[in-house]
């Protein structure tokens, strides 16, 4: 176990080893639809990779299927730790969900400028392709279907593991639901001394982020009368056979406890020579990783292979923890995951909220400990139903807890001395009006006239940068 913990934690620096300021990386997913609001055809994405290749992007093929699945290039001088210095454009579980990962920046203003560059490139292609890129959490019209799943080896193994407790088997497996969802996620530098505290606190406070960012209340062509953010609920409904890998986990004691939790999962796959290989004949990942003999594996094309475990497999295994917040050991970061994608003016609000809480972690911990784990878990489902109208323990309005959390985040961002708290203003306005984007989307959505919906959530070229409204003399920074 010691070797596993070392392999998992080695990229987490101490505060004394780290630079003067935390870096931020973002992962942005966007549904891509046609004029009728339906998921675009697979050919649109395949042609996108060809187009990007002609513009100098490095195109990566899936190790199992040979499909073009990813384009890499750096559009900025920003870099993360451990050679994380390229932007990535690809697709998520669904080929109709564009997934972009921006290499880290030193501050949110630099990240906003960075995103504008990447957005301009994407819109150049999708505008000429006649498609709409949505700042929204789920496909608004198309149903979950295996036909929408990207041709990647790992997703073929997901389908084999998935059940049919939610999605009609005539349409696919439960994992097909993730072919239509789109999240707004971020990575934040975290240090050894605080990593476990941070992942516990950010898991617990995740309902407060969800309450103010709910943005998936319309899907399958109609308003969902039960859920303000159905995207996040689908994790519970569609991984019902891996429920311990979703939602808010029990608090962790230390890195060893975190690694042990990962080892308790049923095994899925490992990577060998760039190809996903399914782990066979083991009840848990721990059974596999501690088996010193050759284990059985199977490639995407059905070939049986022998597998010898490696301590480094624990880092790949960490990606199957689909909790609200999780540690990302490859980068030495914490990843914040509960929020649906946001409209253009709020793309960086999730990163701002999370970064502010991390920068004010002791105060955030005090808020976290005012409620029990059961309280936070119950609140999670209430905010996914009612957004800012949810109630915490003893019928306490969640909106007051969100206000407190935003104040803590604002104080944390002020410690950085950059003015990044301006990115929280859009969330303050939502709290003041007691309305989420989900509430507004419900009001304007009309399947027969999608223009008001597009006007509210479509990503477009004419958005005015906050960075242009704020002058920062970087020579004065420490």
Please, what are the averages of pLDDT over each run of 10 residues along the chain (478 residues)? 92 85 95 98 97 97 92 85 86 96 95 95 96 98 97 93 95 97 97 97 98 98 97 96 97 97 96 93 94 90 93 95 97 96 96 98 98 98 98 96 98 97 97 95 96 96 74 47
In a domain, 92, yes or no: yes
In a domain, 292, yes or no: no
In a domain, 340, yes or no: yes
Sheet holding 275-279, edge to edge: 269-272, 275-279, 295-299, 304-307
**pLDDT at residue number 79:** 75
Q: What CATH number is given to the structural domain containing 215?
A: 3.30.590.20
Query: Model's pTM, two decimal places?
Result: 0.95
Number of structural domains found in the chain: 1
The string of pLDDT tens digits covering residues 231-243 is 999 999 999 999 9
**pLDDT at residue number 391:** 97
Report d(CA 235, CA 194) in Å as an integer: 27
In a domain, 274, yes or no: no
In a domain, 193, yes or no: yes
**pLDDT at residue number 470:** 60
Token pair 């935003």: residue: 406
**pLDDT at residue number 471:** 52
**pLDDT at residue number 478:** 41
For residue 474, which phi and psi values (nearest 5 degrees)?
-65, -20
**Residue ranges making up the domain that contains 231:** 11-249+321-473
**pLDDT at residue number 474:** 47
In a domain, 254, yes or no: no
In a domain, 162, yes or no: yes
In a domain, 151, yes or no: yes
């Amino acid at each position: 176990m010691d070797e596993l913990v070392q392999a998992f934690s080695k990229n987490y620096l101490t505060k004394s080893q780290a630079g003067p300021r935390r870096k931020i990386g973002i992962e942005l997913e966007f549904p891509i639809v046609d004029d009728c609001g339906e998921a675009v055809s697979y050919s649109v994405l395949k042609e996108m990779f060809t187009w990007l290749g002609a513009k100098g992007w490095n195109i990566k093929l899936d190790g199992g299927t040979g499909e073009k699945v990813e384009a890499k290039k750096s559009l900025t001088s920003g870099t993360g730790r451990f050679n994380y210095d390229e932007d990535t454009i690809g697709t998520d579980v669904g080929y109709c969900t564009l997934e972009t990962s921006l290499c880290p920046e030193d501050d949110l203003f630099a990240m906003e400028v960075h995103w504008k560059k990447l957005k301009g490139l994407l819109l150049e292609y999708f505008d000429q392709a006649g498609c709409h890129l949505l700042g929204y959490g789920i496909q608004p019209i198309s149903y979950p279907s295996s036909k929408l799943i990207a041709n990647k080896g790992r997703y073929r193994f997901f389908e084999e593991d998935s059940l049919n407790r939610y999605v009609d088997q005539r349409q696919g497996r439960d994992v097909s639901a993730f072919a239509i969802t789109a999240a707004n996620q971020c990575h934040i530098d975290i240090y050894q001394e605080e990593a476990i505290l941070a992942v516990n606190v950010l898991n617990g406070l995740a309902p407060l982020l969800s309450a103010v960012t709910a943005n998936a209340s319309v899907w399958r062509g109609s308003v969902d009368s039960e859920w303000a953010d159905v995207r996040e609920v689908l994790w519970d409904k569609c991984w019902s056979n891996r429920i311990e890998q979703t939602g808010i986990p029990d608090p962790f004691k230390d890195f060893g406890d975190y690694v042990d939790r990962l080892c308790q999962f049923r095994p899925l796959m490992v990577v060998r020579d760039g190809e996903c290989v399914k782990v066979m004949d083991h009840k848990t990942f721990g059974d596999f990783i501690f088996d010193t003999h050759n284990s059985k594996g199977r490639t995407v094309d059905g070939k049986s292979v022998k597998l010898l475990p490696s301590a480094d497999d624990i880092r790949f295994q960490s990606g199957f923890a689909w909790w609200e917040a999780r540690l990302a050991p490859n980068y030495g970061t914490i990843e914040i995951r509960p929020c649906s994608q946001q409209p253009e003016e709020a793309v960086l609000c999730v990163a701002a909220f999370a970064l502010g809480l991390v920068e004010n972690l002791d105060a955030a911990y005090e808020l976290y400990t005012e409620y029990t784990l059961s309280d936070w878990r119950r609140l999670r489902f209430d905010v996914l139903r009612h957004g800012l109208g949810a109630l915490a323990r003893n019928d306490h309005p969640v909106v007051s807890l969100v206000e407190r959390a935003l104040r803590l985040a604002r104080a944390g961002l002020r410690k950085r001395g950059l003015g990044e708290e301006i990115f929280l203003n859009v969330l303050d306005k939502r709290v003041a009006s007691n309305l989420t984007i989900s509430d507004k989307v419900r009001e304007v959505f009309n399947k027969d006239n999608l223009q008001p919906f597009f006007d509210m959530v479509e990503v477009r070229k004419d958005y005015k940068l906050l960075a242009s409204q704020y002058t920062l003399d970087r020579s004065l920074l420490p």
